[in-house]
Amino acid sequence: MRNVILFLHSSLDGFVEGPNGAMDIGWVSYNEELEKHAREILSTVDTVLWGRGTYQMMENYWTSVPSNPEASEYEIEHAKWIEETSKVVFSTTLEKAEWNNTRLIKENIEEEIKNIKKQPGKDIIILGSPRFAHYLMELDLIDVIKITISPVIIGSGLPLFKGSENKRNLSLVENKTFNSGVIGLTYNIVKS
């Protein structure tokens, strides 16, 4: 069965967004090392899961990259990858999802994700979408957590783990230290 992987960037004090919302991630120590790390992670997946807000933000940004003369080689490569990758957006309010290879699911989220996990293919990734990830974590649908922790304290924002009343045991699979001071961690969620 395919794994659902959560991949997020976090501050040292555990926030995935700054106090100004989803676009407040300028504190992430993103550089060539993290680009390479992200490329390695994305090479193991063929499906991306998003909530509505992240989907709309990603579609707006990544579809504009190929025509942007200032886009880096990495950004252009990632834009091509995301264009071709299977995308599933979960929303009760979105009317349509027209980005290439995108499917909109409006109900039965738990059942739909369990069905996607049973299909053949590579693993599945939640790329951003922290609020959606919080919801899926409560449903016990996330199997692996991959986080990069930037060496910065931002003081407030959206926490990586929010409102969870259920204890989860984690098993450390990998840890990496980058020259920038970023730490990359991979944990399997131990299922009861």
| Residue 184 and residue 175 in contact, taking contact as beta carbons nearer than 8 Å | yes
Residues 134-138, mean pLDDT to the nearest whole number: 90
pLDDT in tens, 156-170: 998 988 766 778 889
Which pLDDT value is given to residue 128?
Answer: 84
pTM (predicted TM-score):
0.92
- pLDDT bin (cut points 50, 70, 90) of residue 105 is very high
Amino acid at 96: K
82's tokens: 């995301």
pLDDT in tens, 114-129: 999 999 999 999 998 8
pLDDT in tens, 20-72: 776 777 788 778 999 899 999 999 999 999 999 999 999 999 999 999 999 98
Of 38, 54, 142, the closest CA to residue 102 belongs to 54
> Is the pLDDT confidence value at 132 over 70?
yes
Amino acid at 30: Y
Which pLDDT value is given to residue 192?
Answer: 72
